Structure formats: C-alpha cells, structure tokens
Amino acid sequence: MGTRTATASMVRLCDMMDGDEGDAFVLMTLKEELSTRDGKPYFKVGFRDSQREVTFPVWQDSPHSEACRRDWSPGQFYKIRALYRETNYGPQLELRRIREVVELDAGDGFDPLMCLPQSRFSAEKMFAELMAIVEAEIADPAIRSLARDMLLANREAFCRFPAARRNHHAFAAGLLEHTLSVTRSTVYLADKYLEYYPDMQPPLNKSIAVAGAVLHDIGKLREYDLSPQGADYSAAGHLIGHILQGRDMLREAAAGKEMAPETLLRLEHVIVSHQRLPEWGSPKPPMTPEALIVHHADDLDAKLNMFATALATDANTGPVTSSKNPLRQHVFRGGNC
C-alpha cells in the first residue's frame, strides 16, 4: 500500500520544474572528489533519468557527505526525494532522501531503462516491424530463416543497444531504430532498382539486400559491452571491430544451415563493405549492388540522425550550428537570409 502511495508521488526527473519536489528513480553517473581553489573539498555528483542529467556538489557539511563518500557509486540506481532548482550553475538538486533501488521498486514502475536515454519509438513495436519485413520481403527461404534466427537470438540485446556510443542513435534501442530504418529504405531501393535494371547479370538479389540491411550493424552487439551506464567498447571491439565481429556472427549462424556458398559470401560482403572506405573500417568497398544500396541507406540514416541531434542540442546562435558535432561541420538552422 505504502508502495501505492509512493507511486502516487513518483515523478520523472525530466518532468520536474524549477521549485518542484518529488520522488524519482535515477542512475548515478558521476562521483568525483574535488575541492575549490581555496581548498574547500566537495564531491561532484551526477544523476540522470532517460532525458535529463543533473550535476551538483555535495559539500562536506552536507548531511549526505559521509554516505556519498562511503557508499554511493556511479552505475548504481537510486530512489531520491529532491527539490529541483534551476540556477546560474544550471539545474541543481537538493537531496532530501536517497537510497539504493531495491527489487520491490519494480512494483513502483522502476526499470533500469527508464534511466537511460532511449528511442522515441517502442522497442517492441520496432522489433515486430523488423520481423515482419524479414518475413515479407526476403523471398529466399534460407536467407529469411537465417535473418529470422539471428534477430530472435539477439532480440533482447537489439532492444537495449545503442547504434553507436556517441555518433548517432546513441540511446537504448538506437541500434534497433537505426536497423529498422535502414531496412525500410533498403526494401524501397531494392524494389526500385530491380525494376530499373531487370537484365543485370547477376541480378540484384533483394533477399540479400534486405537481410544485409537487417544484419549490417549486428556486430555492435559484440563491439560494445552494455552496462547500466550505457555502452563501452569491449576488448574485442577495440582490437577487431564490429564489421568483422558482425560477419563472425553471420558465419556462426550460417554454419548449421543449408545455404549456397555464393549467397553467404554476398551476404558477408554487405556487412564487410557497408562503411565503404577503409578509413571508416571497411576493408573492401561495395562490389555488389546489394552492398551499395545498404551502404547508402545506412550512411544517410546515420547522418540525418546527426543533423537532427545537432539541430536539437546545439547551443550556438546564428544561422548555423557549431561544427563541434560528429559530422564535424555546420548544420543550417535558418533565419536572417
């Protein structure tokens, strides 16, 4: 019952307005021991939910000072009661109470994902749509079965992984959002160019293109280690990289299947070449039409996400954003022409 009551007062950190006080589930993202220039020691701590992160000092004379030093730990989830204030130093929290999240909090709606940035779309629905495309658009039964199995085997991970650590779709289920979008474009483009070049030899193989789109970034699941704080490169991610790792996953899944060697090879090639340039990680450029289509669908989708993110987050004034973004270029914001 108490839980119910508590639930009644649960708020989301990202919904709090200046002066609000309430209970919220948050992830600790930062704890640094610092001191001011004149020697006053303090901890700089950070907490976040899916859409807001707040960083503030815990001074030595704070009632939480001792607990902070001894117990609090970045990567841990907490239930806090706090007053939210917007100040000259940016948003701040005055903590009233704080305790680690416990199992029972799930009853109040706690879910670790609620503390990480995430896709605007339902992971469940995106996954279902991706599966539906696999069933409907991959005519070759061996390829379809392979794509289906690989998706199902990695369902949970797809729903949690970002597409990249920083560059684009850097949020939970970002990999799924990006993969679905690339796959949708690929279906359109494969259909279109099949119609344009009906006599091409060998013919454009739509099953390979679509499965290639579905699987092009699957190696990210090995490139990153996922933790509550987000994704970080694994050792193998550093030394090998997602392009080779994704091809490994494909070959492992295909090992027990009946599949023409050339079909598998062309599918591997889509993964291997999807970044196009050696300096972007692809040892070979697209040498098949399927690989070319997936490369363009992927590149455009990633870049448009970077455009949208730059426009949404850049603090610059004037007709363009700063060039300090993953695109390393200005994005036009408009006005005063």
For residues 189-208, which are near a second copy according to CB under 8 A? 189, 192-193, 196-197, 199-202
Q: Which residues, other chains included, contact 65 with Cβ-Cβ below 8 Å and sequence gap of 6+? A: 43, 58, 59
Q: Pick the piece of the chain touching a second copy (CB under 8 A) from 97-105, 149-157, 207-215, 324-332.
A: 324-332
Instruction: Report, in Å, the least distance between residue 204 CB and a second copy.
Output: 9
Q: Which of residues 298-317 bind a second copy (CB under 8 A)?
A: 299-300, 303-304, 307-308, 311-312
Instruction: Report, in Å, the least distance between residue 34 CB and a second copy.
Output: 8
Contacts 24+ apart (CB under 8 A), 156-161: 157/221, 157/226, 158/123, 158/127, 158/221, 159/123, 159/124, 159/127, 160/113, 160/123, 160/226, 161/220, 161/221, 161/224, 161/226, 161/231
Choose between 11 and 264: whose C-beta lies nearer to a second copy.
Answer: 264
Residue 256 near a second copy by CB under 8 A: no
Residue 337 near a second copy by CB under 8 A: yes
Site mask, a second copy, residues 212-231, x = CB under 8 A? Answer: -------------x------
Contacts 24+ apart (CB under 8 A), 301-310: 301/178, 301/181, 301/182, 301/185, 302/163, 302/164, 302/167, 302/168, 302/169, 302/178, 303/168, 303/327, 305/168, 305/169, 305/178, 306/167, 306/168, 307/331, 309/168
Instruction: Report, in Å, the least distance between residue 2 CB and a second copy.
Output: 37
Choose between 141 and 278: whose C-beta lies nearer to a second copy.
Answer: 278
Choose between 102 and 260: whose C-beta lies nearer to a second copy.
Answer: 260
Q: Which of residues 230-249 bind a second copy (CB under 8 A)?
A: 232-236, 238-241, 243-244, 247-248
Site mask, a second copy, residues 37-56, x = CB under 8 A? Answer: xx-xx---------------
